[in-house]
Structure 1
């Protein structure tokens, strides 16, 4: 393997051909890559070490977020439970990236020999983890949007509507659905219907979340004076702060994952078009953006939540003292 092999071994949906990724006849990926003019559209090579570094930093950040939410009882609320699950979704991307990069580095340096079946199984596991990450991330972003919506417009009934038990049930259902759907997607990735389902799910969740946010911000602004008159301005401010935080998270998610979903759309619409092939060649940049999403999210949590930021500082200081 070399730096370009990541294009051939990571995520079947990043491939723009309906062929199996691995052949049992030899030890190298059996991929028929469409040709494009290298002078017009050169592939951007990114060092494996950069993938590994970003993956490790992202993994540490998201682990700290999960530990902070578990440690601080003030963060034991449905919204933070959902944020915790969002951090776990980001961890799936980080873990899959770190594992794959380590295997590739070991293989490149002749320290590890991998049989075709082993490579195929590893590839399937990594693909399922990444696909589970995107499905669960979209699901939890929509869930958090619904939670903020209830907080703002059904404030007096919020604790009876969004109970801890109900939040746990939602989390379990989302994870089961994400893993099941991702496994199905990966094993039937050659079927265009699977790609259509994934793209459709992406747009449905984005539209659902966007509609909720628009309604929240418009009506919250209209009723802000009335809410202040009832001495609920602090609750309103907290709810709107949470909504703004999740709006930022959604925006970052769209920016980082949009090239991937555009890639899927182009697979369906113009797989042989030279311009589309040029877009396909920038796979490494798409993957870097996806990893950056899992790296940026914890920074947004910490920046927007003083309580979480305080707990994260305590965890970092305790870890530093323990190491010293």
Structure 2
């Protein structure tokens, strides 16, 4: 993931260990000017490793808290748990690759080109699966909140545990299968088109749902009041706000990466686009930050999850002492 050299013909190879090892440079947090006058922000490997480890621990805590607390055993939290697993894929791939590079740089590990390629492909599949599954589960969670708000009385009949399980299985199978195909055919521009199209469809789908939820919230609130379900409505709208924050963070963190893909299609040889390409490591840092921020949003917005996490951390600390 943290490459020491820039690959100007990067397609969907999210990480390129071979390029890194062939032309390794010393990364620093300072900007660097090249012959074209572009500013390249170089990221130290230690920062990749630190953020990856923090993100991994956070998401593991979220998954364990949802598993432990029976009050969180509902379709919405099942989807949130899967989103946390998606974030873990990014963290694991980042940690593994960074450790691999640090060991190689210090002469503690000698590898062959075939092994490098295999590891590179596995990491690429993991990251691509994370992209697709994260987008899919954001849509799924948004749809779940939409049903909760506008079909509150029929929610448990519509979103059953069996249906939620089926959705989760389909999303993961589709994400993993698509990721493998994307990596196999990564040299085809059609892969980039598919990724960008899926990203745009996801944003439009979520934007439409959120807009409808907020525009009709007042009308639906009156209906809920008639059935004395004020608290349910408040909880549902709180969930919608949480998902809006999650989507906003996702756009900020993943947007530069997808813009990178779009520019590869539209202006691969333009000097301006090449300057943008040179900061690919910065875009990777933003992706890792997304997987780090998501658990913080869950803990802050969900009182039940926050309480469970606090109890879990406190018990773990006491046990350690």
**Given the two structures, how large is their TM-score scaled by the length of structure 2?**
0.91
Aligned position for 1:288: 285
Q: What SS is found at the alignment partner of 1:179?
A: helix
Give the structure 2 partner of residue 42 of structure 1: 39
- Residue 274 (str. 1) matches residue 271 (str. 2): yes
Distance 1:47 1:245 in 2: 32
Q: Secondary structure at the match of 1:127?
A: helix
Cα separation, partners in 2 of 1:6 and 1:229, compared to 1, 3 Å: farther
- Which stretch of the first structure deviates more once superposed, 82-91 or 186-195? 186-195
Query: CA-atom RMSD, angstroms?
Result: 2.0
What's the counterpart of residue 301 of structure 1?
A: 298
Q: 1:21 to 1:59 in 2, by over 3 A?
A: closer
Say yes or no: does 1:217 pair with 2:214. Answer: yes
Contact 1:56 1:94 survives alignment (8 Å): yes
Asked if structure 2 preserves the Cα contact closer than 8 Å seen for 1:14 and 1:263, the reply is: no
Structure 1 unmatched runs, 5+ = 30-35
Question: How many residues get paired?
Answer: 308
In 2, are the aligned partners of 1:93 and 1:129 still within 8 Å (CA)? yes
Instruction: Please give the secondary structure, in 2, of the residue aligned with 1:92.
Output: helix
For residues 215-260 of structure 1, the C-alpha deviation after alignment (integer angstroms, 9 at most, x for no partner) is: 1111112332332233121111111111111111111001000000
Give the structure-1-normalised TM-score: 0.91
Q: Pick from 146, 151, 168: which aligns with 2:148?
A: 151
1:184 and 1:224 map into 2 onto residues whose CA distance is 46
Alignment of 1:61-140 (within 5 A): 61-140=58-137
User: CA–CA distance in 2 between the matches of 1:306 and 1:103?
Assistant: 39
Could you tell me whether the CA contact under 8 Å between 2:13 and 2:186 is conserved in 1? no
Distance 1:162 1:317 in 2: 34
| Pair 1:6–1:71, CA change in 2 (3 A) | farther
The residue aligned with 2:22 is 28
Q: Does 1:236 align with 2:230?
A: no
Look up the match of 2:242: 245
Q: Structure 2: 5+ residue runs without aligned partners?
A: 24-32
- Is the Cα contact below 8 Å between 1:14 and 1:264 reproduced in 2? no
Deviation at 1:6, TM superposition (A): 6.6
Partner of residue 170 from structure 1, selected from 167, 170, 191: 167
**1:277: how far off?**
0.3
How many angstroms does 1:21 deviate by? Answer: 8.1
